[in-house]
Amino acid sequence: MSFNIAIDGPAGAGKSTIAKKIASELGFIYVDTGAMYRAMGLFFLKNKADVNNERQISDLAEKAEVTLKYENGTQHVFLNGEDVSGLIRTQQAADMASATSRYMAVRSRLTSTQKRIAAENDVVMDGRDIGTAVLPHAQLKIYLTASVERRAERRYGELMMKGEKDLDIEQIASEIAARDHQDMTRKIAPLCRAEDAILVDSSDMTIDEVTAVIRKLYEERV
Ligand code: DC
Between CA 219 and CA 198 the distance in angstroms is 15
Instruction: Report the atom number in ligand 1 closest to the C-alpha of 37.
Output: 8
How far apart are the CA of 98 and the centre of ligand 1, in A? 6
User: Which atom of ligand 1 lies at the shortest distance from residue 11's CA?
Assistant: 3
Q: Which of 91, 83, 101, 113 is nearest to 37 (CA)?
A: 101
Query: Which residue CA neighbors atom 12 of ligand 1 most closely?
Result: 98
Q: Is the domain defined by 1-28+122-222 classed in CATH 3.40.50.300?
A: yes
**In angstroms, rounded to a whole number, what is the distance separating the alpha carbons of residues 151 and 12?**
5
Angstrom distance (rounded) from CA 68 to CA 93: 18
> What is the DSSP secondary structure assignment for residue 75, as one 8-state letter?
E
**Average pLDDT estimate for 200-210:** 97
21-32 pLDDT per residue, tens: 999 999 999 999
The whole-number pLDDT of residue 73 equals 86
Could you read off the pLDDT of 173-191 as tens digits, one per residue?
999 999 999 999 999 999 9
Q: Whose CA is nearest to atom 6 of ligand 1?
A: 34
Q: Where are the domains of the chain?
A: 1-28+122-222, 33-121
What is the tens place of the pLDDT at every residue in 94-152? 999 999 999 999 999 999 999 999 999 999 999 999 999 999 999 999 999 999 999 99
Helix H or strand E encompassing 76? strand 74-79
Our separate counts of H helices and E strands in the chain read: 8, 8
Average pLDDT (72-76) is: 92
Say yes or no to pLDDT of 60 above 90.
yes
Q: Which of 30, 77, 128, 180 to mutate to test the pocket of ligand 1 (most atoms within 8 A of CB)?
A: 128
Domains 1-28+122-222 and 33-121 share a fold: yes
Pocket lined around ligand 1, Cβ cut-off 6 Å: 11, 33-34, 37-38, 94, 97-98, 101, 127-130, 179, 183
| pLDDT of amino acid 32 | 98
Q: What Cα–Cα distance (Å) separates residue 167 from each residue in 86, 89, 157, 174?
A: 22, 17, 10, 13
**Residue 72 pLDDT exceeds 90:** no
- Which sign does the torsion angle of CA 159, 164, 169, 173 carry? negative
Compute the mean pLDDT over every residue in the chain, rounded to the nearest whole number. 97
Cα–Cα dist 92/98, whole Å: 10
Q: How confident is the model at residue 201 (pLDDT cuts 50, 70, 90)?
A: very high
Residue with CA at minimum distance from ligand 1 atom 14: 128
Say how far apart CA 141 and CA 30 lie, in whole Å.
15
Residues 6+ apart with CB under 8 A from 108: none
In angstroms, what is the span from residue 108 Cα to ligand 1's centroid? 14
**Which of the four CATH numbers 1.10.10.60, 1.10.3720.10, 3.40.50.300, 3.30.530.20 does domain 33-121 have?**
3.40.50.300
- Atom number in ligand 1 closest to CA 93: 6
* R_g over Cα of the chain: 17
